[in-house]
Structure 1
Amino acid sequence: MDQFSVQIFAVIHQIPQGKVTSYGVVAKLAGYPGYARQVGRVLSNLPRDTQLPWHRVVNSQGQISLQGESLQRQKERLLVEGIEVSGKGKIRLKLYQWQP
């Protein structure tokens, strides 16, 4: 596994249950400001049974970036943690954003 992925995973492991953050914030905290898309790419390649809380990462507008079944999976996981998600996959960042 490359160093970029290791640092991204380390940041994501710190996101507490019931909170979310954006791809850009994850990249910045990992030491790679401006690498939000690459964070998304790394997360898209995770195995389905991963224990990494990938579902706590959304885009900078508080929107789930996934489509179809993946969107539903992420939405369900967030709901289980008490995070309200609109029908279109929007999360109120003022309430749920992780502030490390």
Structure 2
Amino acid sequence: MNPFTEKAIRVIQSIPAGYVMTYGQVAAGAGNRRGARQVVRVLHSMSAKHNLPWHRIINAKGGISTPADAEEKGNRQRQLLESEGIHFLPNGTIDLTVYRWVGFDGEEE
């Protein structure tokens, strides 16, 4: 496993229930501010194996990012976040000033 992937896994595992991080935040915390797409790859290929809280990763606008053909996964992500006490704004986004986790040793995006 490459160092970026190992660090990304640690950053993702550090997010407590009731908080979120953006793909860019995770990438920055793992040492590559431009590695947001790599974070997507890590989540896709390693969430089950490493028991990652994949649902706590959202886009920089505070929204859930799912492909058009994956609406069910987006609904599941929203349910999991709401079950942790995260409230969505009327436009379907999360207020990052309230729910963004910054308790890691890395840069913000």
Normalising to structure 2: TM-score of the pair?
0.80
Q: For this pair of structures, how many residues does the alignment match?
A: 100
The answer to whether the 8 A contact 1:20-1:58 is kept is yes
Q: For residue 106 of structure 2, what is the aligned residue in structure 1?
A: none
Write the distance in 2 (CA, Å) between the matches of 1:70 and 1:19: 19
Which has the bigger relative contact order, CA under 8 A and spacing at least 6?
2
The answer to whether the 8 A contact 1:71-1:89 is kept is no
Can you give the 5+ residue segments of structure 1 that lack an aligned partner in the other structure? Answer: none
Q: For residue 59 of structure 1, what is the aligned residue in structure 2?
A: 59
Q: For residue 32 of structure 2, what is the aligned residue in structure 1?
A: 32
Compared CA separation, residues 45 and 78, structure 1 to 2 (3 A): same
Normalising to structure 1: TM-score of the pair?
0.86
The answer to whether the 8 A contact 1:84-1:91 is kept is yes
Secondary structure in structure 1 of the residue aligned to 2:93: coil
Identity %: 42
Choose which of 72, 78, 81 in structure 1 pairs with 2:81.
78
Secondary structure in structure 1 of the residue aligned to 2:41: helix
The code of the aligned residue for 1:74 comes to: Q
Taking only aligned residues, the RMSD between alpha carbons, in angstroms, comes to: 2.0
- Deviation of 1:87 (Å): 6.5
